[in-house]
Structure 1
Amino acid sequence: MTEINIKLLTKAIGKAIARQRQQKAMTQEEVAEYLNIGMEAVSRMERGIVVPTIVRLAELAQLFDCELTDFLRETSNRPTEQSIILSQQLARLNDTDRKLLLNTMMQLVERLADS
């Protein structure tokens, strides 16, 4: 069984929390108020200093209107999980920008795969 690097996992979850918060255009203060905790606690979660509980992650998922798994998905190195992340990001773009990004990604993958 592979060993889990808790420090890296905590930092990755923190980044995912920050990304979700920013996508909802919320401040740390607004998140803290919703969770009934101090703003410093939110900051510590986002910086990966503390590991949020599953209950806290569920509360954040509800607040950000995302799936609980979205916070963990960003820590995965599995292509299936990574493709879901890319799909979610592509969905935020209009058709023209999505096509442009998809073509760029395909060219980049071809170039890197040949290396």
Structure 2
Amino acid sequence: MPTRRDPSTDEAQDALLTSRVGAAIAERRRARGLTQAQLAEMINLEQEAVSRWERGIRAPTLYRLQQLSDALDCSVDQLLQRGSKRIDDQLSIVSGALHGLDASERALVVQFVQQFTDLLRTQRPTRGKQRK
């Protein structure tokens, strides 16, 4: 018989995901140079709803997530992947952070990431062995 998760744990995880999605919406909106009111108008909604999403008070419905992805010129995945523990999602976030940088700036970021991960591995040698 499967065990059920503690509802309070699920609620905490939902709250965390709501907060992360809200932060992703805000980040995408700002990157596009839009105000909350402009984004709300694009999806035929009031500005206060966008504000509640961005503050992590409420989560958008699946329908609204699709509208947001269209308005923000991104995939629904990109709105949901923030805070994901999956390495592919994390790589996608890092890759997105490199957009808008020239080749030498990207090389600098890559060099920094390599040096920083090397440093972390030397400080915690068992961590690197466990994840191979």
TM-score by length of 2: 0.82
- Helix, strand or coil at the partner of 1:114: helix
In the alignment, is residue 24 of structure 1 matched against residue 68 of structure 2? no
Q: Residue in 2 aligned with 1:54? A: 62
Q: Residue in 2 aligned with 1:77? A: 85
CA distance in 2 between counterparts of 1:92 and 1:74 reads 19
Q: Residue in 2 aligned with 1:39? A: 47
Displacement of 1:92 = 2.4
Q: Residue in 1 aligned with 2:121? A: 113
Displacement of 1:104 = 0.8
Moved over 2 A (4+): 1-4
Percent identity between the two aligned chains: 36
Identify which of structures 1 and 2 has the higher relative contact order when contacts are C-alpha pairs closer than 8 Å and 6+ apart.
1
Deviations 1:42-84 (A, max 9, x none): 1000011011011101111101111110011113111121001
**Any gaps of 5 or more consecutive residues in structure 2?**
124-132
Of 96, 106, 110 in structure 2, the residue corresponding to residue 98 of structure 1 is 106
CA distance in 2 between counterparts of 1:114 and 1:21 reads 39
CA distance in 2 between counterparts of 1:82 and 1:66 reads 16
RMSD after superposition:
1.5
Higher Rg: 2
The count of residues paired between Structure 1 and Structure 2 equals 115
**Any gaps of 5 or more consecutive residues in structure 1?**
none
Deviations 1:65-114 (A, max 9, x none): 11110011113111121001111211221111100111011111111111
Question: Which amino acid in structure 1 is aligned with residue 50 of structure 2?
Answer: V
